[in-house]
Structure 1
C-alpha cells in the first residue's frame, strides 16, 4: 500500500479516528535515540555540577519566563 492509498483511506475516517491516527504516527516518530539521550544526560549533569560549584548564575523562574515571553 502506498502512502497515497493510506492517505485516501485515512481521509475516510471519522475526525476523531483521524486524530488518533495522527497521534499514533507522531508518537512513532518520537522514539528516543539512545546516543542523543546519553548526550543530554551528560550535559544536564555537567550543568548541575557547574551550578553546584557556583559557576552558573541562578535567579527566580519568573524572570526567566519573562525573558522567554519577550523573545
Structure 2
C-alpha cells in the first residue's frame, strides 16, 4: 500500500533520533550537487555581482584586518 506524504512524515517522525539523522543525511546527499565546474562558475558570477555592488557604491569595503579584529573581539 502506497503512503501519501502525511503518512510518510508520520512514520518518519516515529523513528528514533539516530535513525532520523541517518535518513536526513541520506536525503541531503541524494540532492543534486553542482559539478566542480558549475560551482566555480556560480562563484565567479557571485564575485562579479559583489564587485559591481561595491563599484556602484551600494556597499562599502572593509579591510580584512578590520574584519578579523571585529571577529576576535566578538569571540573574546
Task: Report the TM range for the smaller structure's normalisation.
Answer: 0.3 to 0.5
- The structure whose RCO (Cα within 8 Å, separation 6+) is larger is 1
For normalisation by structure 2, the TM-score amounts to: 0.44
For normalisation by structure 1, the TM-score amounts to: 0.46
